[in-house]
């Protein structure tokens, strides 16, 4: 897991609109904002939230066929959701023979609240 935002000195920028006063500059870099946006996008679907819940409730990796059995969706749809979660690093995938097994990335899930705090940093 990459390190999160490090606090930099408070920088005030002029609004440039002729309005009186100034505003605090953002502390998130473009890269950090992009990473956080990918996390929020990955979590923006109820099925993906439920898949994460399923994986988080189980200590061992779960076969994709067992995940499919828990949802009223076909294997291609579940595989798509798992790929989105994997791309956002919320889950790990491991091939065992012809089957894929998935487990939650607990480090990523635990970093998520810190990301939200950094977005709201004052």
Q: What is the CATH number of the domain that holds 96?
A: 1.10.10.10
Q: Specify if 20 maps to a domain.
A: no
pLDDT in tens, 32-89: 888 888 888 888 899 999 999 999 999 999 999 999 999 999 999 999 999 999 998 8
Q: Specify if 51 maps to a domain.
A: yes
Q: Specify if 99 maps to a domain.
A: yes
pLDDT in tens, 6-20: 444 455 555 566 676
Q: Which of 31, 19, 81 is nearest to 54 (CA)?
A: 81
The contacts of residue 65 (CB under 8 Å, 6+ apart) are 75, 99
Q: Which domain holds residue 94?
A: 28-119
Q: Specify if 12 maps to a domain.
A: no
pTM metric for this prediction:
0.72
Helices 30-42, 106-119: axis angle to 10 degrees equals: 120
Domain count, the chain: 1
In a 13 Å sphere around the CA of 57, the CA atoms on its Cβ side amount to: 7
Question: d(Cα 69, Cα 79) in Å, to the nearest integer?
Answer: 12
pLDDT at 97 over 50: yes
Residue 18 confidence (pLDDT): 65
């Amino acid at each position: 897991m990459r390190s999160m935002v490090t606090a930099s000195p408070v920088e005030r920028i002029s609004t440039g609109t002729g309005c009186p006063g100034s505003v605090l500059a953002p502390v998130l870099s473009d890269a950090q904002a992009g990473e956080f946006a990918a996390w929020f996008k990955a979590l923006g679907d109820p099925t993906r939230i439920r898949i994460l819940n399923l994986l988080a409730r189980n200590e061992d990796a779960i076969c994709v066929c067992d995940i499919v059995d828990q949802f009223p969706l076909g294997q291609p749809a579940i595989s798509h959701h798992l790929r989105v979660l994997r791309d956002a690093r919320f889950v790990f995938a491991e091939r065992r023979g012809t089957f894929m097994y998935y487990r939650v990335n607990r480090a990523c899930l635990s970093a998520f609240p810190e990301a939200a705090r950094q977005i709201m940093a004052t």
